[in-house]
Structure 1
């Protein structure tokens, strides 16, 4: 009888421990919510022209090309929506101001300037980068980089500038005596806008 009592006691104790292990110690029966507000940020861009473009020497026969590369451009679209955006630019004619000897300002048409945005690189966690192509400038805004949808995040690019100088162009005006190295370079004002 003693062996039977011990076996029954072991089975009963094991059953109680097994039942206790399956029963939660502190069961909670409730539901809760948690809130987090995500606010829209800004749409911004850092876009500049090259500090200077290469000089060219006229030969009276061939057109020449003055080139330059701008510092890296950065575009950030933190608005948190699929609203379209576009980085545009407009420019003025290139003008060499009248000098002390050359009393007439000389110009090269704005349409001789081409901006090539180049490859756009999307930052980590951004939407796919938009594609671009070379753009001939004018006095009205021209789209350089744009996204119709899925343009959220940050993007960078290094655009190049190319100015066509026809063979029959005027040289830059002297800003001092003829033969001086001081000249009034051809200058254009470029206006960049992101919207």
Structure 2
């Protein structure tokens, strides 16, 4: 639970209600925390003038009081490691820019999040003076980041060149550089350069209604199975950061009564996930029937690097109809969402 050292001084907050209770506390800063048992001591046994400051000679150590000395935690003083630096195309064959990519990782050098990355052309400058790179997923928010930049090479002389990349963690530490060599070349004789600008698209899911048809009541619990017309999930972003599909539902309701949502179940077999166009398809997370609820249930996942394309998915839907239900036309609202990340 959240903890503030002030909880232990003069606040009247009860953390223990009986013998044997314990209170979890996380200390985020170094220092000394005092505490006392309200059954066997009072605040003035700890802080005689009750000014919130424990001064020398004030604590009455004959009473049930105590203190916790919190030492400073380890400090991250090492910069992140840069690796897997690549430049494309190489050789350039007359193009005006190359795409520079790299991985910046602080997991083995302090564990801080990556905060920035930069590159230098041919000569490494002072930390922070390079050209900024972007996180591939558009946000510097994890201990390891893939980074990318478009480097203008139109003014570079023909021949070999170097691109240096380095990263900075959230504690302000710059790491050492890693380098990739590439060559500036002209277009082959007798050829012309063709170019195309490719912009990333969106992540989307298209769904169709689920119709369980008509059922005559028998006085027994009944099960109805159906399949909707295929739904379609598409990842046109081109980033390969993965994605997932979730479903949730309301109760089935009518003027006559309610069938609770846990009677609505879903299954998605991998054979019913069909690649329309793209690379390795996503995989099902519900290969057996699972009850739905008002909270999102993950049913399909595309791992990082997979699911770059368009895929049809046809889930199996099952509805349990209780024996004591009242006749009527029942409707439920199904929500299907597609989300970034596997």
TM-score by shorter chain over 0.5:
yes
Aligned residue runs from structure 1 range 21-32, under 5 A: 31-32=185-186
Q: Is the CA contact 1:135–1:144 (under 8 Å) kept in the aligned structure 2?
A: no
Bigger share in helix: 1
Q: Distance in 1 between matches of 2:226 and 2:278?
A: 31
Bigger share in strand: 2
Q: How many residues align?
A: 145
**How far did residue 127 of structure 1 move?**
2.0
Query: Relative contact order (C-alpha < 8 Å, sep 6+): which is higher?
Result: 1
The reply on whether 1:163 has 2:323 as its aligned counterpart is: no
The reply on whether 1:42 has 2:42 as its aligned counterpart is: no
The reply on whether 1:143 has 2:143 as its aligned counterpart is: no
Q: Distance in 2 between matches of 1:92 and 1:129?
A: 26
Q: Distance in 1 between matches of 2:231 and 2:314?
A: 6
Aligned residue runs from structure 1 range 72-83, under 5 A: 72-83=230-241
- The alignment's C-alpha RMSD in Å is 2.2
Q: Distance in 1 between matches of 2:284 and 2:251?
A: 27
Q: 1:191 aligns to what SS in structure 2?
A: strand
Q: Is the CA contact 1:84–1:151 (under 8 Å) kept in the aligned structure 2?
A: yes
**How far did residue 165 of structure 1 move?**
0.9
* Residue in structure 2 matching 1:186, options 330, 333, 336: 330
Q: Is the CA contact 2:282–2:301 (under 8 Å) kept in the aligned structure 1?
A: no
* Residue in structure 1 matching 2:283, options 130, 154, 158: 130
Kindly provide the CA deviation profile for residues 45-92 of structure 1, in whole angstroms up to 9, marking residues without a partner as x. 111232x213222222x3101333211111111111221311112111
Q: Normalising by structure 1, what TM-score? A: 0.66
Q: Normalising by structure 2, what TM-score? A: 0.39
- Rg larger in 1 or in 2? 1
Q: Is the CA contact 1:91–1:138 (under 8 Å) kept in the aligned structure 2?
A: yes
Q: 1:79 aligns to what SS in structure 2?
A: coil
Q: Distance in 1 between matches of 2:302 and 2:290?
A: 16
* Residue in structure 1 matching 2:274, options 121, 126, 143: 121
**How far did residue 32 of structure 1 move?**
2.0
Q: Is the CA contact 1:88–1:142 (under 8 Å) kept in the aligned structure 2?
A: yes
The reply on whether 1:64 has 2:218 as its aligned counterpart is: no
**How far did residue 108 of structure 1 move?**
0.4
**How far did residue 169 of structure 1 move?**
2.2
Q: Rate the CA distance shift 1:48–1:68 in 2: closer, same or farther, 3 A.
A: same
* Residue in structure 1 matching 2:242, options 78, 84, 105: 84
Q: Is the CA contact 2:278–2:308 (under 8 Å) kept in the aligned structure 1?
A: no
Q: Distance in 2 between matches of 1:89 and 1:131?
A: 13
Q: 2:298 aligns to what SS in structure 1?
A: strand
Q: In the alignment, what sits opposite 1:101? A: none
Q: Is the CA contact 2:268–2:284 (under 8 Å) kept in the aligned structure 1?
A: no
* Gap runs ≥5 in structure 1: 1-29, 98-104, 173-184
Q: In the alignment, what sits opposite 2:213? A: 54
The reply on whether 1:112 has 2:270 as its aligned counterpart is: no
**How far did residue 36 of structure 1 move?**
5.2
Q: 1:124 aligns to what SS in structure 2?
A: strand
